[in-house]
Structure 1
Amino acid sequence: MSVRQWSRDLAMGARFAVTGGREAWVRVLLTAVGVGLGVALLLLTTALPSALASRHERERGRNDMTFSSVIKKKSDRTLLIATSDTTFRDEDVRGRMLEPEGARAPLPPGVSSFPAVGDMVVSPALDRLLKSPDGKLLRERLGYRVRGTIADSGLVGPHELAYYAGADKLSATAETNGRIERIDSFGYSGQSEAMDPILVLLVLIVFVVLLMPVGVFIAAAVRFGGERRDRRLAALRLVGADGRMTRRIAAGEALAGALVGLALGAGFFLIGRQLAGLVMVFRISVFPSDLNPTPGLVVLVALAVPSAAVAVTLLALRGVVIEPLGVVRTARPSRRRLWWRLLLPLGGLAMLYPMIGQGRSNGNFNQYLVIGGVLLLLVGITALLPWVVEAVVARLNSGGVAWQLAIRRLQLSSGTAARMVNGIAVAVAGAIALQMLFAGVDDDYTKVSDQDLARAQMSVQVPAGVPMAEAVRRMSRTRGVTHTTALGRTELGDGRDEPEQQSTVSVGDCAALREAARLPSCKDGDIFAVGDAKWDSSTAKLNKAGKRLYFDPSFGSGSKGKEIPWTVPQGVKRADSRRDPSGEERGGFLFTPGALPPQAASTVRGTVFLRLDESVPDVREFVRNSSARLDPLADPETWTATIQSKKFTSIRTGLFVGATCVLVLIGASLLISQLEQLRERKKLLSALVAFGTRRRTLSMSVLWQTAIPITLGLVLASIVGLTLGTVLLKMTGTSVSVDWASVLSMTGIGAGVVLLVTLLSLPPLIRLMRPDGLRTE
């Protein structure tokens, strides 16, 4: 068969699709909308890598922390910059205080000029928040005048909360390293830390699981209008076309819908691209300009979708006999064969088997085997589900009228019913496998915090130069704070310079010291030595009456060379170690305030542990505001029960973002498919109503026609998902366990989407169930 003949037949089918009147256009539009939604999501997926790369590049471009132990010399090219990050109602606020030291000091990206002392430039999102009633507490905390906004080049996303404030009297020393630094440029040129193999595996599986349902939906969308197309194909045979030609013409009709779908998909993507800057999903937002699909992937989508439309149509008609007097599809079809359908999932398992037990210690997983194996397992669902539906409905007979109508319809067109739920089954299977994988490796990237939330829920670092008593007084008066515990820290050594033996000193009243050690008895003026801390081998050697030790003032004030001498007195009491509220095991010496030499007070840097009344609204915001009055650079720590890897959290967030988009696509595509099915059955429904069938009976039959295949699809999806999840866990070297709550929640979400689509299709169904639907020309 020549290419010319193929082209002519495909073009004829495309002309039939667009010149066949209202019915033809409805069919094309249904196909185009279904394909367009899938194409839009594919384009979005191809644009995500560039969007994330753009966010990362802007983040690297504005990097200002060197953490270098060598302090740069002051010059007209240097800038003092202080980190003043804060949190507002669980949202991070990136803050920097700037003090240029010369005319050629580097400007941060997105900032046109340095703000004056007391002024700040803010991101548009922060500007909106500060101007809103919800931003009252944050306005009180920042206290600067807004004099401008940060351009997009200085922000990672349109919803980022960030500001640069003008400052003076900043000082960069070894003690302020990481909080206040002197820099001469912005940006970071180092290599990013590579992800470990298991995180790479997670990324691969996430992309395959999210994209696979999209492909399934596109394949289903190009087969809309199959029953009405059969009558046109029979007419073509009547006027002289042979069987192969009619199949190519049918493929041309699908090609027309796919091409229109490509155009609609591009339009949907461009609309979604412009709207992307207005929404934030799981705290991730991107600028519209960041969503630039990779040209090569765009070309691949543009070629793959029309090709898939032609291939799927030809494949669907391979077993259909098209004759001049009709299409042999209404007769009972031959039973589907099972053996070749089982080869797909078995082939997928065979591809994944060599990597079982590899874990993170044997290098990266083979990407081609991972992608191929997961694809074959998920594609296996689409091959097995039609056989499962056919085998089950063939054995269902007895029941009420609605049940009989539904079963008979499913027996005649089980393939159509299976196609409708293929996408949701694939999505649920992938989601179950991912949930098992995430739950299995969660412990590797999540550790239990040492912080004791029963003893405190927040902590505040007391800045140098602020007396501990003043910090405690202010924090105690904060609304919602029920109890404060203040523990200071400094150091003792046996020499003025580079001592051989060194130990820590904790300072606090008796109640505070009891939070760090078990004391025999305590009154102000007492000194204790902790002798059983596992890490402490120096205190016993230093705790000798008459021994001369030195407080190190550089620990608190930076005045090296002015060490404060102290002689170990008689009667230092012994104490037993106890973990403080932060989980730290304290050793060394414990001083009550009356025992601390007055000169050493300036060397003490303290921490105030806070117990909160959680019933007070915004209690943490009140604490942060009080802390900011102590020191604008202070960032109170909110305690949590667990600490999770940021990369692991980012991948999980990406999964949630992608799953949200896929769920929207699932719902929209199912609704379009359901409406197309009802439109094709318009005359049948009208005939049944004309013969006296109750509308309630017909509605229930439509519900059963949806419920039976989706139930079978979800059962099959659960089996495949559990199998895939088990294999993935064995690949990562993790013990296999099933989170049944997640499995049930995934299947419940899938069933909920289908139920919602069914409910939305009831109004059109009721309109179609009218006797006048039998009218024809």
Structure 2
Amino acid sequence: MSGSPGPLAGFDAIGPRGPRGHEPEPSASPRTWIRDLALGVRFAAGGGREGWTRTLLTAAGVGLGVSLLLLAAAIPAMMATRDRKEAARDTSSMTYIAKPTDHTLLIADAGTTYHDKDITGVLVHPEGTAPGRPPGVDVLPPAGHMLVSPALKKLLASAPLLRERFPYTVDGTIGKAGLLGPAELYYYAGSDRLTARDADYTTGNAERVSGFGYQRASEPMGPVLDLLLVMVLVVLLLPVAVFVGTAVRFGGERRDRRLAALRLVGADIRMTRRIAAGEALFGAVFGLVLGALVFLLGRQLASKVTIRGISAFPSDMTPSTPLTLVIVLAVPLAAIAVTMLSLRRTVIEPLSVVRQGLGRRRRLWWRLLIPAVGLLLLAPLFGTVRGDASVNQYQVALGTVMLLVGVTAVLPWVVEVTVGRMRGGPVAWQLATRRLQLNSSASARMVSGVTVAVAGAIALQMLFGGVGGDFRSSTGADSTRAQAQVNVPVTSGSQTQAAMRQIAATKGVRQVYGYVESGATQPDASTARTTDFAYLPVKVGDCPTLRQLADITSCRPGSTFVVPPGSDVDDGGAFAKYATPGGRVDLNTPDEKYTGTPELWTIPKDARRAAARVDPTGSTSYGIFATPQAVDVSLLRRPGSEIMVSLDPEQPDAIEYLRNTGATFGPDAYVSMIRNVTEKSGYIQLRRGLFAGATLTMALIGASLLVTMLEQLRDRRKLLAVLVAFGTRRTALAWSVLWQTAIPVVLGLLLAGVGGIGLGAALLAMVGEPFRADWGGVAAMSAIGAGVVFAVTLLSLPPLWRMMRPDGLRTE
């Protein structure tokens, strides 16, 4: 009852001589290697039902890993395709066009949000007979019509509330060339309400363009984001490599017994190892083919899957040729290397198989040397990953891999030392501990991938938590006072007041805080010989609104308040000079030169001073604050509007009703949520990619663990049947299998916690952040890893129950 040791176990054997004192044999020629590998392939392919079962299990484990590796190789091409498509439909930074031509058209952004789903839209209006067309569109939609993505068409059909927001007739769908992915919500709508902006952007609501397609310069990620990207790739892909290395060693015990028979007919030790490598090579190549088929099948289903808002067309997910070649060559070579290394501690004699690991404890020193080397690689980078500094990505990746591999190297030693001291207990516990004492390598190897994944996730979570403040900033807003902001383009104060009344009547709106914003100047501006006119902000709103802008205790219709500027505003003392109770100001604010007739207004003598207050959006303003009864808003020149809305928390679709109302105000109007915190887009995209990749990696971990568990049960089938035949209770055997999994899992997760916190501390030191462990995150990551393992164990119980039948004693 013994299993093959861990992938690095061969280093425990010391001395120049081989096992049992055999002298080292001369290296075999390439021709001999090819012959013996081919013989191993023949044994694997012609080994009957038993051989093909072993080969299929190996292929299944390798295939799952290869499919994910191919997916990782396809991601760069997919992202490049997305960038190319986005550039092909972009018009954002084209030069200003003053006059219309046959090829020009007017466009305006008209994006919106529905239940946290971003919908991107563009309003178009052709100005000539041959306007440019975006990719995926044959004919631009006329006014009142629109073209939508298939996903948006489906959403509109299932969401009547959203359909009210689009007063357009759907004429068709956008082609694949014009969409970033099958789940993208995108549309083009024709509108006759667009007018071209002037060169100063003071009038108009749309851009005049001659076509689509603009390659904007990519924003540099910065050293911290580069570090995060490297860490994400290492944490997601290293567990895959561990599982591939585990899969090529399935069926080790039965293989070794066959190799002993080959020794009986004259094969030497090195020949048997090469034959074993040939068997593993066959399973690995078969796994390559299976993995490619799984990837191709999964790629066809990619259009049905959306992870964190990311989707892709199957044709966009094509792995790059260099990365594909690396995978095709690395997997078979790794299968040969892992097999040769695993047999270094196994003595295969003509009549028996003896594993050196049973009589000699594993050595710890070289296992600790691996993470120590990784730490030495990362130490020179401490405090250097900041500002505009460049990051040596290869050094970071190698150091991180060494630290994580060191965790898996120490795990077999920890399991062996721990289970070696276990004695007594119930029958199930004794069966489990005795099995682990005889062969702890297989169990440690089974959970090594989970250990790596959890350790990497803990380190990555610490790094994200440490640098999150660099990409996350407080807006100063207070979303408890108002939850949304409505921007409505107006040309008069009466329009703002009408918009406020319409918003207040919207379902789910609890309170509207809105004011008309304009300016005043010195009373003698019309006759002054100067171009440096005083500017005095004027804000007109009701009392509840003014209380959001200033600390006001008493307010009634007709009240006026003077709110002086803060120390950060330098107006040359103009506000203190002119904005005084009883003083006169001119509401006809000039630009560079005074035009028109004066609109003199006297500030009421009972106007009181008040201190400015941060409004719900996080802004602080000053000026002359007045209620509508104190000043006629029709006298204000070039008025603007600011409308903040408090929503009813008991109406879950309140924000959607408000967005529908906002859509009626025209293409320039928009509704935005008031958020207390904002995050940079690059950080958000990287975090979304991490969650998407982590989902796939955990799925692979679960599937690979299940295959590994079934392979181990298959190897123990006769033993289980014998125990049942001698009267051992099935429940005791089931519990023993559970304990055999639980003990290495607990030890592996404890080691993952230590290794992950250590790696996280090193990463935080690299970015110059103090050590800060997220114990809640450590517990969560450990719970997820344990949950995956125990779920797989429960799924393996039905086949375990079948293997404990008496007919398992049959043999041929």
TM-score, normalised to structure 2, is: 0.91
Residue pair 2:549, 2:612 contacting (<8 A) in 1 also:
yes
**Whole-Å separation in 2 of the counterparts to 1:187 and 1:201:** 32
Q: Give CA-to-partner distance per residue, 1:81-135, whole Å, 9 cap, x none.
A: 1111111111011111111111232212221111111000001100111122xx1
Q: Counterpart of 2:344 in 1: which secondary structure?
A: coil
Relative to 1, partners in 2 of residues 1:148 and 1:498: Cα closer, same or farther, differing over 3 Å? Answer: farther
Q: Counterpart of 2:610 in 1: which secondary structure?
A: strand
Q: Does 2:584 correspond to 1:551? A: no
Q: Does 2:466 correspond to 1:440? A: yes
Residue pair 2:587, 2:637 contacting (<8 A) in 1 also:
no
Relative to 1, partners in 2 of residues 1:542 and 1:613: Cα closer, same or farther, differing over 3 Å? Answer: same
Q: Give CA-to-partner distance per residue, 1:625-672, whole Å, 9 cap, x none.
A: 112123344221112232111111111111111111110000000000
Residue pair 2:94, 2:209 contacting (<8 A) in 1 also:
no
Q: Does 2:702 correspond to 1:667? A: yes
Q: Does 2:716 correspond to 1:716? A: no
**Whole-Å separation in 2 of the counterparts to 1:554 and 1:188:** 35
Alpha-carbon distance, 1:584 to partner: 1.0
Q: Counterpart of 2:180 in 1: which secondary structure?
A: coil
Alpha-carbon distance, 1:390 to partner: 0.8
Alpha-carbon distance, 1:371 to partner: 0.7
**Whole-Å separation in 2 of the counterparts to 1:90 and 1:726:** 35
Residue pair 1:553, 1:600 contacting (<8 A) in 2 also:
no
What residue in structure 2 maps to residue 167 of structure 1? Answer: 191
Relative to 1, partners in 2 of residues 1:291 and 1:553: Cα closer, same or farther, differing over 3 Å? Answer: farther
**Whole-Å separation in 2 of the counterparts to 1:752 and 1:612:** 40
Relative to 1, partners in 2 of residues 1:248 and 1:613: Cα closer, same or farther, differing over 3 Å? Answer: same
What residue in structure 2 maps to residue 486 of structure 1? Answer: 514
Q: Counterpart of 1:361 in 2: which secondary structure?
A: coil
- Larger deviation: 364-373 or 463-472? 463-472
**Whole-Å separation in 1 of the counterparts to 2:77 and 2:726:** 60
Alpha-carbon distance, 1:524 to partner: 3.7
Alpha-carbon distance, 1:588 to partner: 1.8
Q: Does 2:74 correspond to 1:50? A: no
Q: Give CA-to-partner distance per residue, 1:140-171, whole Å, 9 cap, x none.
A: 11121000111122112111111111111312
The correspondence of residues 724-743 of structure 1 with structure 2, limited to 5 A, is 724-743=759-778
Alpha-carbon distance, 1:526 to partner: 4.2
Alpha-carbon distance, 1:610 to partner: 1.3
Counterpart pick for 1:566 among 588, 600, 624: 600
Relative to 1, partners in 2 of residues 1:531 and 1:330: Cα closer, same or farther, differing over 3 Å? Answer: closer
What residue in structure 1 maps to residue 377 of structure 2? Answer: 351
Residue type of the alignment partner of 2:92: M
What residue in structure 2 maps to residue 449 of structure 1? Answer: 475
Residue pair 1:330, 1:412 contacting (<8 A) in 2 also:
no
What residue in structure 2 maps to residue 297 of structure 1? Answer: 323
Residue type of the alignment partner of 1:294: S
Q: Does 2:511 correspond to 1:477? A: no
Residue type of the alignment partner of 1:198: V
What residue in structure 2 maps to residue 61 of structure 1? Answer: 88
The correspondence of residues 354-753 of structure 1 with structure 2, limited to 5 A, is 354-361=380-387, 363-465=389-491, 467-494=495-522, 499-519=532-552, 521-538=554-571, 539-543=575-579, 549-552=586-589, 565-569=599-603, 571=605, 572-597=607-632, 599-601=634-636, 603-753=638-788
Alpha-carbon distance, 1:499 to partner: 4.2
**Whole-Å separation in 2 of the counterparts to 1:58 and 1:285:** 14
Alpha-carbon distance, 1:78 to partner: 1.8
Relative to 1, partners in 2 of residues 1:583 and 1:235: Cα closer, same or farther, differing over 3 Å? Answer: same
Residue pair 1:552, 1:563 contacting (<8 A) in 2 also:
no
What residue in structure 2 maps to residue 92 of structure 1? Answer: 118
Alpha-carbon distance, 1:469 to partner: 2.2
Alpha-carbon distance, 1:283 to partner: 1.1
Residue pair 2:347, 2:356 contacting (<8 A) in 1 also:
no
Alpha-carbon distance, 1:562 to partner: 5.2
Residue pair 1:156, 1:286 contacting (<8 A) in 2 also:
yes
Residue pair 1:490, 1:604 contacting (<8 A) in 2 also:
yes
Alpha-carbon distance, 1:597 to partner: 4.2
Residue type of the alignment partner of 2:107: I
Q: Give CA-to-partner distance per residue, 1:21-56, whole Å, 9 cap, x none.
A: 011001000000100000000000011111112112
Q: Counterpart of 1:514 in 2: which secondary structure?
A: helix
Residue pair 2:488, 2:670 contacting (<8 A) in 1 also:
no
Relative to 1, partners in 2 of residues 1:66 and 1:178: Cα closer, same or farther, differing over 3 Å? Answer: farther
- Larger deviation: 215-224 or 533-542? 533-542
**Whole-Å separation in 2 of the counterparts to 1:177 and 1:187:** 25
Q: Give CA-to-partner distance per residue, 1:323-376, whole Å, 9 cap, x none.
A: 110111398242111111111000000000001111313602211210110010
Residue pair 2:196, 2:204 contacting (<8 A) in 1 also:
no
**Whole-Å separation in 1 of the counterparts to 2:542 and 2:429:** 78
Residue pair 2:560, 2:604 contacting (<8 A) in 1 also:
no
**Whole-Å separation in 1 of the counterparts to 2:320 and 2:372:** 34
**Whole-Å separation in 1 of the counterparts to 2:686 and 2:171:** 37
- Larger deviation: 750-759 or 174-183? 174-183
The correspondence of residues 145-160 of structure 1 with structure 2, limited to 5 A, is 145-160=169-184
Q: Give CA-to-partner distance per residue, 1:652-693, whole Å, 9 cap, x none.
A: 111111111110000000000000000010000000000000
Relative to 1, partners in 2 of residues 1:553 and 1:227: Cα closer, same or farther, differing over 3 Å? Answer: farther
Relative to 1, partners in 2 of residues 1:76 and 1:573: Cα closer, same or farther, differing over 3 Å? Answer: farther
Residue type of the alignment partner of 2:626: F
Q: Counterpart of 1:551 in 2: which secondary structure?
A: coil
The correspondence of residues 184-199 of structure 1 with structure 2, limited to 5 A, is 184-199=210-225
**Whole-Å separation in 2 of the counterparts to 1:677 and 1:510:** 75
- Larger deviation: 566-575 or 433-442? 566-575
- Larger deviation: 173-182 or 464-473? 173-182
What residue in structure 2 maps to residue 238 of structure 1? Answer: 264
What residue in structure 1 maps to residue 19 of structure 2? Answer: none
Q: Counterpart of 2:358 in 1: which secondary structure?
A: coil
Residue pair 2:599, 2:635 contacting (<8 A) in 1 also:
no
- Identity %, equivalent residues: 51
**Whole-Å separation in 2 of the counterparts to 1:327 and 1:772:** 27
Q: Counterpart of 1:171 in 2: which secondary structure?
A: coil
**Whole-Å separation in 1 of the counterparts to 2:755 and 2:664:** 57
Q: Counterpart of 1:583 in 2: which secondary structure?
A: coil
Residue pair 1:553, 1:603 contacting (<8 A) in 2 also:
no
What residue in structure 1 maps to residue 64 of structure 2? Answer: 37
Unaligned runs of 5+ in 2: 1-27
**Whole-Å separation in 2 of the counterparts to 1:564 and 1:154:** 53
Aligned length: 771
**Whole-Å separation in 2 of the counterparts to 1:30 and 1:341:** 29
**Whole-Å separation in 1 of the counterparts to 2:764 and 2:520:** 50
Counterpart pick for 1:249 among 275, 280, 286: 275
Relative to 1, partners in 2 of residues 1:596 and 1:65: Cα closer, same or farther, differing over 3 Å? Answer: farther
Unaligned runs of 5+ in 1: none
Q: Give CA-to-partner distance per residue, 1:525-565, whole Å, 9 cap, x none.
A: 4443321433434322442666653534989xxx9955764
Residue pair 2:91, 2:213 contacting (<8 A) in 1 also:
yes
Residue pair 2:486, 2:672 contacting (<8 A) in 1 also:
yes
What RMSD in Å do the two structures reach over aligned CA positions? 2.2
Relative to 1, partners in 2 of residues 1:138 and 1:233: Cα closer, same or farther, differing over 3 Å? Answer: same
